[in-house]
Amino acid sequence: MSYKSLVQVIKEHNVGKDLSEKFSPYNDKQYPRCVDFYIQFRGGKGDRITSPENKKDFEKATKMIDAYCRTNKIKQKPVYSTPEEGSSAYKVGLMIDKTYSKTDDYDKGVDLQPLYVALSKLKTAEDHGGGWSQAVVKEDLDEGLIPMYKKTKFEGKEFDRKKEIKSCKDMIKAIHKVAKMQDSMQYTAETGGGLKGGNPNKVWENLRDAERALYDYMGGIERGHYDGVIDMDRD
Protein backbone atom coordinates (compact mmCIF):
# COMPACT_ATOMS: atom_id res chain seq x y z
CA MET A 1 0.00 0.00 0.00
CA SER A 2 1.41 3.38 -1.05
CA TYR A 3 2.19 5.92 1.64
CA LYS A 4 2.70 9.65 1.41
CA SER A 5 5.43 10.68 3.82
CA LEU A 6 5.19 13.29 6.52
CA VAL A 7 7.80 15.55 4.90
CA GLN A 8 6.21 15.30 1.46
CA VAL A 9 2.77 16.17 2.81
CA ILE A 10 4.06 19.13 4.82
CA LYS A 11 5.79 20.54 1.74
CA GLU A 12 2.81 20.12 -0.57
CA HIS A 13 0.16 21.17 1.96
CA ASN A 14 1.95 24.35 3.01
CA VAL A 15 3.13 25.65 -0.37
CA GLY A 16 2.29 29.35 -0.58
CA LYS A 17 0.57 29.35 2.81
CA ASP A 18 1.10 31.48 5.86
CA LEU A 19 1.65 28.98 8.67
CA SER A 20 -0.12 31.31 11.10
CA GLU A 21 -3.28 30.95 9.00
CA LYS A 22 -5.94 28.54 10.27
CA PHE A 23 -5.53 25.35 8.34
CA SER A 24 -7.96 23.65 6.02
CA PRO A 25 -7.96 19.85 6.42
CA TYR A 26 -5.65 18.16 3.94
CA ASN A 27 -7.59 16.10 1.39
CA ASP A 28 -6.19 14.01 -1.45
CA LYS A 29 -8.30 11.65 -3.58
CA GLN A 30 -5.31 9.38 -4.21
CA TYR A 31 -4.25 9.36 -0.54
CA PRO A 32 -7.48 9.90 1.46
CA ARG A 33 -6.56 7.86 4.54
CA CYS A 34 -4.86 9.77 7.35
CA VAL A 35 -2.38 7.58 9.24
CA ASP A 36 -0.73 10.22 11.42
CA PHE A 37 -1.23 13.87 12.32
CA TYR A 38 0.37 16.54 14.45
CA ILE A 39 -1.65 19.58 15.57
CA GLN A 40 -0.78 22.48 17.85
CA PHE A 41 -2.93 25.19 19.38
CA ARG A 42 -1.70 28.80 19.23
CA GLY A 43 -2.91 32.34 18.62
CA GLY A 44 -5.67 32.62 21.19
CA LYS A 45 -6.38 35.86 23.04
CA GLY A 46 -3.54 36.96 25.26
CA ASP A 47 -0.23 35.18 25.07
CA ARG A 48 0.11 33.38 21.73
CA ILE A 49 1.44 30.22 23.39
CA THR A 50 -0.19 30.03 26.84
CA SER A 51 -3.54 31.62 26.03
CA PRO A 52 -6.49 30.12 27.95
CA GLU A 53 -8.21 29.68 24.58
CA ASN A 54 -5.34 27.51 23.38
CA LYS A 55 -5.53 25.40 26.52
CA LYS A 56 -9.31 25.06 26.24
CA ASP A 57 -9.06 23.78 22.65
CA PHE A 58 -6.20 21.47 23.61
CA GLU A 59 -8.30 19.92 26.37
CA LYS A 60 -11.22 19.47 23.95
CA ALA A 61 -8.85 17.84 21.48
CA THR A 62 -7.51 15.32 23.98
CA LYS A 63 -11.05 14.26 24.86
CA MET A 64 -11.97 13.91 21.18
CA ILE A 65 -8.86 11.83 20.47
CA ASP A 66 -9.36 9.59 23.50
CA ALA A 67 -13.00 8.98 22.53
CA TYR A 68 -12.06 8.22 18.91
CA CYS A 69 -9.40 5.76 20.04
CA ARG A 70 -11.87 3.97 22.32
CA THR A 71 -14.59 3.79 19.67
CA ASN A 72 -12.24 2.52 16.97
CA LYS A 73 -10.20 0.30 19.30
CA ILE A 74 -6.95 2.05 18.39
CA LYS A 75 -4.02 0.62 20.33
CA GLN A 76 -1.46 3.32 19.59
CA LYS A 77 -1.22 5.88 22.39
CA PRO A 78 -1.66 9.53 21.38
CA VAL A 79 0.99 12.10 22.24
CA TYR A 80 0.10 15.23 24.25
CA SER A 81 2.43 18.04 25.33
CA THR A 82 1.91 21.42 27.00
CA PRO A 83 3.88 24.63 27.67
CA GLU A 84 3.70 23.76 31.36
CA GLU A 85 5.78 20.68 30.53
CA GLY A 86 8.28 22.68 28.48
CA SER A 87 6.66 22.31 25.06
CA SER A 88 6.68 25.26 22.63
CA ALA A 89 2.87 25.02 22.40
CA TYR A 90 -0.12 22.88 23.33
CA LYS A 91 0.28 19.93 20.98
CA VAL A 92 -1.49 16.67 20.10
CA GLY A 93 -0.43 13.88 17.81
CA LEU A 94 -1.39 10.37 16.83
CA MET A 95 0.72 8.16 14.59
CA ILE A 96 -0.40 4.70 13.48
CA ASP A 97 1.93 4.54 10.47
CA LYS A 98 4.22 1.51 10.81
CA THR A 99 7.26 3.77 10.63
CA TYR A 100 6.38 5.02 14.11
CA SER A 101 3.93 2.50 15.57
CA LYS A 102 4.44 -1.13 16.56
CA THR A 103 0.68 -1.77 16.84
CA ASP A 104 -1.51 -3.40 14.19
CA ASP A 105 -3.70 -0.30 13.80
CA TYR A 106 -2.32 0.44 10.32
CA ASP A 107 -2.82 -3.13 9.09
CA LYS A 108 -6.37 -3.16 10.45
CA GLY A 109 -7.19 -0.23 8.18
CA VAL A 110 -7.73 2.43 10.85
CA ASP A 111 -8.38 5.84 9.26
CA LEU A 112 -7.69 9.00 11.29
CA GLN A 113 -9.12 11.39 8.67
CA PRO A 114 -12.52 11.91 10.38
CA LEU A 115 -10.75 12.75 13.64
CA TYR A 116 -8.22 15.00 11.90
CA VAL A 117 -11.04 16.93 10.18
CA ALA A 118 -12.97 17.31 13.45
CA LEU A 119 -9.87 18.65 15.24
CA SER A 120 -9.27 21.17 12.46
CA LYS A 121 -12.52 22.92 13.43
CA LEU A 122 -11.19 23.95 16.84
CA LYS A 123 -10.59 27.71 16.85
CA THR A 124 -6.87 27.81 17.69
CA ALA A 125 -5.85 24.60 15.89
CA GLU A 126 -2.87 24.77 13.52
CA ASP A 127 -1.89 22.00 11.14
CA HIS A 128 1.64 20.84 11.89
CA GLY A 129 1.86 18.03 9.34
CA GLY A 130 0.84 14.42 8.97
CA GLY A 131 0.90 11.33 6.81
CA TRP A 132 -1.64 9.94 4.35
CA SER A 133 -2.07 6.61 2.63
CA GLN A 134 -4.26 5.05 -0.02
CA ALA A 135 -7.68 3.90 1.13
CA VAL A 136 -8.13 0.33 2.32
CA VAL A 137 -10.17 -1.72 -0.13
CA LYS A 138 -12.58 -3.85 1.88
CA GLU A 139 -13.65 -7.20 0.50
CA ASP A 140 -17.31 -7.84 -0.18
CA LEU A 141 -18.28 -10.12 2.69
CA ASP A 142 -21.12 -11.60 0.61
CA GLU A 143 -18.55 -13.10 -1.74
CA GLY A 144 -15.72 -13.69 0.72
CA LEU A 145 -14.60 -16.83 2.50
CA ILE A 146 -15.49 -17.70 6.08
CA PRO A 147 -13.68 -15.26 8.41
CA MET A 148 -10.49 -16.48 10.07
CA TYR A 149 -10.96 -17.39 13.72
CA LYS A 150 -9.75 -14.94 16.37
CA LYS A 151 -7.69 -15.40 19.51
CA THR A 152 -9.69 -16.07 22.65
CA LYS A 153 -10.37 -13.12 24.92
CA PHE A 154 -10.82 -15.41 27.92
CA GLU A 155 -7.23 -16.62 28.34
CA GLY A 156 -6.21 -16.60 32.00
CA LYS A 157 -9.83 -16.77 33.19
CA GLU A 158 -11.64 -19.69 34.81
CA PHE A 159 -13.40 -21.95 32.29
CA ASP A 160 -17.21 -21.79 32.50
CA ARG A 161 -18.77 -25.14 31.53
CA LYS A 162 -22.37 -23.93 31.31
CA LYS A 163 -21.49 -20.93 29.18
CA GLU A 164 -19.45 -23.01 26.72
CA ILE A 165 -22.06 -25.75 26.40
CA LYS A 166 -24.73 -23.12 25.70
CA SER A 167 -22.53 -21.68 22.94
CA CYS A 168 -22.13 -25.18 21.45
CA LYS A 169 -25.90 -25.75 21.47
CA ASP A 170 -26.50 -22.34 19.86
CA MET A 171 -24.03 -23.21 17.10
CA ILE A 172 -25.72 -26.57 16.52
CA LYS A 173 -29.09 -24.80 16.15
CA ALA A 174 -27.46 -22.44 13.63
CA ILE A 175 -26.11 -25.42 11.66
CA HIS A 176 -29.61 -26.94 11.56
CA LYS A 177 -30.96 -23.67 10.17
CA VAL A 178 -28.30 -23.65 7.42
CA ALA A 179 -29.14 -27.27 6.58
CA LYS A 180 -32.83 -26.33 6.23
CA MET A 181 -31.83 -23.42 3.99
CA GLN A 182 -30.19 -25.94 1.66
CA ASP A 183 -33.51 -27.82 1.42
CA SER A 184 -34.97 -24.76 -0.34
CA MET A 185 -32.29 -24.82 -3.05
CA GLN A 186 -32.99 -26.29 -6.48
CA TYR A 187 -30.22 -28.85 -6.11
CA THR A 188 -30.46 -30.07 -2.53
CA ALA A 189 -28.13 -32.35 -0.57
CA GLU A 190 -29.80 -35.19 -2.42
CA THR A 191 -27.57 -34.26 -5.35
CA GLY A 192 -24.14 -35.86 -5.47
CA GLY A 193 -21.10 -34.61 -7.36
CA GLY A 194 -20.94 -34.98 -11.10
CA LEU A 195 -19.54 -33.52 -14.27
CA LYS A 196 -21.26 -30.18 -13.60
CA GLY A 197 -18.77 -29.34 -10.86
CA GLY A 198 -19.29 -28.99 -7.13
CA ASN A 199 -21.19 -31.31 -4.84
CA PRO A 200 -24.33 -30.11 -3.00
CA ASN A 201 -24.28 -33.26 -0.90
CA LYS A 202 -20.76 -32.35 0.31
CA VAL A 203 -22.17 -29.15 1.82
CA TRP A 204 -24.56 -31.21 3.94
CA GLU A 205 -21.80 -33.66 4.89
CA ASN A 206 -19.58 -30.81 6.13
CA LEU A 207 -22.45 -29.35 8.14
CA ARG A 208 -22.95 -32.79 9.70
CA ASP A 209 -19.20 -33.01 10.47
CA ALA A 210 -19.34 -29.60 12.15
CA GLU A 211 -22.30 -30.77 14.23
CA ARG A 212 -20.44 -33.92 15.28
CA ALA A 213 -17.36 -31.89 16.21
CA LEU A 214 -19.48 -29.71 18.47
CA TYR A 215 -21.03 -32.76 20.17
CA ASP A 216 -17.54 -34.23 20.66
CA TYR A 217 -16.39 -30.94 22.19
CA MET A 218 -19.40 -30.86 24.52
CA GLY A 219 -18.56 -34.41 25.61
CA GLY A 220 -15.06 -33.30 26.55
CA ILE A 221 -16.47 -30.34 28.46
CA GLU A 222 -18.91 -32.52 30.41
CA ARG A 223 -16.09 -34.92 31.32
CA GLY A 224 -14.11 -32.01 32.79
CA HIS A 225 -11.29 -32.02 30.24
CA TYR A 226 -11.34 -28.21 29.95
CA ASP A 227 -11.86 -27.28 33.61
CA GLY A 228 -9.50 -24.82 35.25
CA VAL A 229 -7.81 -21.66 34.04
CA ILE A 230 -7.91 -21.21 30.25
CA ASP A 231 -4.39 -21.62 28.85
CA MET A 232 -3.86 -21.73 25.07
CA ASP A 233 -0.28 -22.96 25.50
CA ARG A 234 0.96 -21.15 22.36
CA ASP A 235 4.67 -21.62 23.19
* Shared domain check, 120 and 28: yes
* pLDDT tens digits, one per residue of 13-32: 444 444 445 568 888 888 89
* Shared domain check, 110 and 85: yes
The domain tally of the chain equals 2
Specify the pTM: 0.53
Mean local confidence (pLDDT), 153-159: 93
* Shared domain check, 65 and 15: yes
* Shared domain check, 106 and 145: no
Cα(48)–Cα(128) distance, integer angstroms: 16
- Provide the residue count of the chain: 235
User: Is residue 11 over pLDDT 70?
Assistant: no
Q: Range with the lowest mean pLDDT among 43-47, 52-56, 129-133, 192-196?
A: 192-196
Cα(54)–Cα(45) distance, integer angstroms: 8
* pLDDT tens digits, one per residue of 46-87: 898 999 999 999 999 999 999 999 999 999 999 999 999 999
* Shared domain check, 29 and 128: yes
Cα(40)–Cα(124) distance, integer angstroms: 8
Last residue of a domain, one of 76, 108, 133: 133
Last residue of a domain, one of 116, 133, 150: 133
pLDDT at 12: 44
Cα(97)–Cα(110) distance, integer angstroms: 10
Domain that holds residue 191: 141-235
